[in-house]
Structure 1
Amino acid sequence: MTLAGGICWGISGCFGQYLFQQKDVTSNWLVSVRLLVAGILLLAIGRWRMGKDLNAFFHDRKDLRKVLIFSVFGMLFCQYFYFSAVEYSNAGTATVLQSLAPFVILAIVCIRGLRLPKGREVIAVFAAVSGVFLLSTHGNIHNMMLTEQALFFGLASAAGAAAYNLLSAEMLSKYGVYPVVGYGMLFGGIVLTVIVWPWRYGLIWDSGTIIALFGVIVIGTAVAFSLYLKGVSMVGPFMGSLLGMVEPVTAIVVSFLFLDTKFQWIDLVGFVLILGTVLLMSLRSPGREATKKS
């Protein structure tokens, strides 16, 4: 599930690239709309499948507060700060900075468990981040535009990514995907909508726009986050964050096949590092981290 969620993100990134380049869509508009629409879609499905149980956490003030925190500081912050980092630099720089999330998660997991990081964990983090760096910059550090604003927003997106990995597991185990992810997206979308007023933006509406929006909202948001976060609740936030790094691998392959993106030999090294990380972490016993955490 975690890998499938990362693959869906990689596919949706190509749809997003198409919207930015061909339809003059802005990141503020896209993030607010994708959260709102995906949240409504998941809640509609959840209402059909769960009935009144969909709103169970509203009866527990403590759990409601947890969902709100997850919604704003995890779901919203990760996406909004990531696209802000792209705006102040480029997609490669933003992706590399956001990929630092496993460092944050590993530090928190180790502090919670009162232990030092294991050798395999350290190797996996460095291999995954190195792979993301190679795929995002083609091995050329000069392709990174590390302005002060990009650094701030990129690190903030990494913190947001760590937050939604760490904050979601307990609530998902207790209430399920539809209420937690659905309301998480809806609440985050409402907050951002109040800030950016997406209805003020003009948009070119045609079949290409509709298909691309379907890819971003349904595949890359509703399906991707549901699969990924459900997987994280099983394997734990640290392993989940590393498995989710299959996203740039998918994005590169899809971009090469459908968007005429150039493929370089150094990208193969990035592929090997990331897929090697996935293999390394998959050798762990299932649910080990999640069990220790609970």
Structure 2
Amino acid sequence: MNSSSRKVGYLLVITGAIFWGVGGTVAQKLFQQYAVNVNWLVTTRLLIAGMLLLSVQYFRKDRSQILGVWKTKKTAIQLLIFGILGMLAVQYTYMASIKYGNAAVATLLQYLAPVMIIIYYILRKQTALTRQDTMTVFLALLGSFFLLTNGSFSQLSVPPLAVIWGILSGVALAFYTLYAVPLLKKFDTLVIVGWAMIIGGLALSMIHPPWKIELGTLPVEAYLYFLFVIIFGTMFAFWFYIESLQSLSPKETSLLSSVEPLAAVITTVIWLKEPFGSLQWIGAFSIIGMILLLALGKKNSAAVEVEEVKVG
């Protein structure tokens, strides 16, 4: 692998991670300033981004897989479960946490998923607790405490609903990550994630049809923010991440993608001027440290035995 292609890989994964992080902050802007409905944003984001990702697969990769994934009953059922209980659950809980709190806290809470995977593996007695796992859990708990309380035992620094949705987002991401493994061994990631987004979007459309919104009342900048969330914060972010794997190892991409929560924190604090206490910063960097520890860790750690699938 030549150095120029590796440089392109670095640029792609870092850009994609920044797009993911900033996309959450832009979604917060839509929820809190323009009162955009969470159900509508999640539905349209999933449907449009899913179709775009399948289009990339059609023109750039093995297009036969797009329909091939539906040819066996077992795989089709797995994909439907993954789309609803995995993709839709992750996207909805993450966006709900942003709506009731902010993008910084929502993103960091979602990144607690590896700790939940560690606990799952240990309870299933599929692996023994390692030093790395112990340090991972410690950093996650320490980071969560400071992030959510700013060091005060008497009150939360973010609304309770934001915390609940954020923790549920971590649980959903843990399930999403574990359940995706057998599907990804058979089909390209773009196919699985693209279809999962469409399935999740169609399922939520039954509850909240995407056409039921008064778009005419929104200013032009709201439309631009909406397009950013879908095009850059979802489609390009995921595409860039996948393309970076052509020149970088999964460990390198995992390490560099830790820029995502940092981008979410910085843009939330600077652009949206959300208050963020000094101890919350310590909590944020503790969780980012946990991510780096996992990215640099050994394969015998429970949390790094699972193939990573980005969701944005």
- Measured against the shorter chain, the TM-score band is 0.7 to 0.9
Q: TM-score, normalised by structure 1?
A: 0.79
Task: Provide the secondary structure at the position in 2 that maps to 1:41.
Answer: helix
Q: 1:127 aligns with which of 121, 124, 139?
A: 139
| RMSD over equivalenced CA pairs, Å | 3.6
Q: Is the 8 A contact 1:3 1:244 kept in 2?
A: yes
Take 1:179 and 1:101, find their aligned partners in 2: how far apart are those partners?
A: 23
Take 1:291 and 1:269, find their aligned partners in 2: how far apart are those partners?
A: 24
Name the amino acid aligned to 1:212: Y
Identity of aligned residues (%): 32
1:31 CA displacement = 0.6
1:113 CA displacement = 5.8
1:125 CA displacement = 2.9
Q: 1:31 aligns with which of 19, 42, 48?
A: 42
- What is aligned with 2:263? 250
1:86 CA displacement = 5.5
Take 1:25 and 1:62, find their aligned partners in 2: how far apart are those partners?
A: 38
Take 2:300 and 2:84, find their aligned partners in 1: how far apart are those partners?
A: 27
1:159 CA displacement = 2.4
Q: TM-score, normalised by structure 2?
A: 0.75
Q: How does 1:33-182 map to 2 (within 5 A)?
A: 33-49=44-60, 50-85=62-97, 89-91=100-102, 98-111=110-123, 114-135=126-147, 138-140=150-152, 141-146=155-160, 151=164, 153-182=165-194
Name the amino acid aligned to 1:170: P
- What is aligned with 2:227? 214
After superposition, the C-alpha distances for 1:168-226 in whole angstroms (9 at most, x for unaligned) are 23322321122101000001000001111232221344431232112211222224455
| Higher relative helix content | 1
Q: 1:184 aligns with which of 196, 200, 203?
A: 196
- For residues 112 and 196 of structure 1, do their structure 2 counterparts lie closer, same or farther at Cα, with a shift above 3 Å needed? same
After superposition, the C-alpha distances for 1:83-140 in whole angstroms (9 at most, x for unaligned) are 44556x5347766764543332112233556332212112213313533553455445
Q: Is the 8 A contact 2:113 2:173 kept in 1?
A: yes
Task: Provide the secondary structure at the position in 2 that maps to 1:175.
Answer: coil
Flag structure 1 segments of 5+ consecutive residues without an equivalent: none
- What is aligned with 2:273? 260
- For residues 263 and 293 of structure 1, do their structure 2 counterparts lie closer, same or farther at Cα, with a shift above 3 Å needed? closer
- For residues 110 and 8 of structure 1, do their structure 2 counterparts lie closer, same or farther at Cα, with a shift above 3 Å needed? farther
Task: Provide the secondary structure at the position in 2 that maps to 1:13.
Answer: helix
- What is aligned with 2:9? none
Flag structure 2 segments of 5+ consecutive residues without an equivalent: 1-11, 308-312
